[in-house]
Amino acid sequence: MDTLDALYADSLANLQETESMASLEVWYRDNLGRKGSVQLETRKVGQLPPAERPLFGQQINKIKQQLSAAYEERLAALKAAELRAQLAADAVDVTLPGRRQWRGRLHPSTLVLREIYRIWGDMGFQVYRSRDVETDEYNFELLNIPAHHPARDMWDTFYTTTPGVLLRTHTSPGQIHAMREYHPQAIRVILPGMCYRYEQITARAEIQFHQVEGLAVGRKISLADLKGTLAEFARRMFGQETGMRFRANYFPFTEPSAELDIECFICQGEGCAVCKQTGWLEILGSGMVHPTVLENGGYDPARYSGFAFGMGVERIAMLKYGIDDIRYFWANDLRFLEQF
């Protein structure tokens, strides 16, 4: 019994001297482990007279319980000490100068999109969203581009494995959705979104790009309304002194059709590499909505008329900021993005 008392005193003293979790683990192994000093004392029970064995066993169990409780208490104390040390090491020195907070920036496409929204919103147009995955019917047929029509060669299309389902090549299918939803009311909407075309990626072409479609339908809308509206947009986007011209073109879903050019603001119309020595920069295509498209949208072309236009957001951003490669928009290069 004296040996047990001495063992308990030594073990408890050694426990109080532990200063770290590692030394505490060593103490537990040497004292309460399977081959620890306390566990080894239990093997002496068989060497004692039968009358003394119960008292000896009770004393060993008592020592085990007391040392286990002391171990748990020491474990909690060391964990608390380690936490205090960690907090002290990580403390903030309020006397140090503050660190600059790095702020995220808007993507140049987003910047231009927001400016386009603001300009058209000021002119009474609302944003209308349409889906990216379209049917051949909405993307082509209802826009006066039937199957095998030569005009389909103007759009290199991504087709899905589902027959008749594709990624939209332009935002023009939204015209049909908007007309069928708002019929027979008058319409003034812009339809922004991503478009997809199976093209060779170059400095001037990408397989995906933003486009903003515009549509106005009413009873007395004329070509003069189209020209005046687009001219006002160009002045607000590129400056009040911007020179512009309308150039005849062909689109299956508008008749007549025209493209809007602005005077090159880099060379002021004298000719440079950006405008290909013409002095002009194309910014959008437009025209009066074709009677067939109006009819497919639910409007009587004898009573209603309308105009439509479509502009490439990245193209406008390239002109506005002097960007010479459209691939920069999707490269995720911070050196490019941080300029905006």
Q: pLDDT digit string (tens) for 20-42?
A: 888 888 888 888 777 777 777 77
More confident residue, 302 or 57: 302
Predicted local distance difference test score (pLDDT) of residue 155 = 75
Reply yes or no on whether the pLDDT at 186 is more than 70. yes
Predicted local distance difference test score (pLDDT) of residue 218 = 96
Q: State how beta strands 187-196 and 126-127 pair.
A: parallel
- Cα–Cα distance measured from residue 171 to residue 142, given in angstroms and rounded to the nearest whole number: 13
Predicted local distance difference test score (pLDDT) of residue 235 = 93
Distance of CA 128 to the CA centre of its chain: 20
Full-model pTM? 0.68
Largest Cα–Cα distance in the chain?
120
Work out the average pLDDT over 211-240.
Answer: 94
pLDDT band at 127 (very low <50, low <70, confident <90, very high): very high
CB 257 within 8 A of CB 248: yes
Query: 128-132, 134-138, 146-150: which has the minimum mean pLDDT?
Result: 146-150
Tokens, residue 60: 């060993």
Nearest Cα neighbor of 248 from 260, 263, 265 is 260
What's 108-337's CATH class? Answer: alpha beta
Predicted local distance difference test score (pLDDT) of residue 115 = 96
| Domains of the chain, residue spans | 2-89, 108-337
CB crowding 132-141: b at 16 or more within 10 Å, else e = eebbbebbbb
CB crowding 92-125: b at 16 or more within 10 Å, else e = eeeeeeeeeeeeeeeebbebbbebbbebbeeeeb
Predicted local distance difference test score (pLDDT) of residue 3 = 77
Predicted local distance difference test score (pLDDT) of residue 310 = 96
pLDDT band at 274 (very low <50, low <70, confident <90, very high): low
> How confident is the prediction for the chain on average, in pLDDT?
88
- Cα–Cα distance measured from residue 307 to residue 75, given in angstroms and rounded to the nearest whole number: 79
Ramachandran class of 197: left when φ > 0, alpha when ψ lies in -120 to 50, beta otherwise: beta
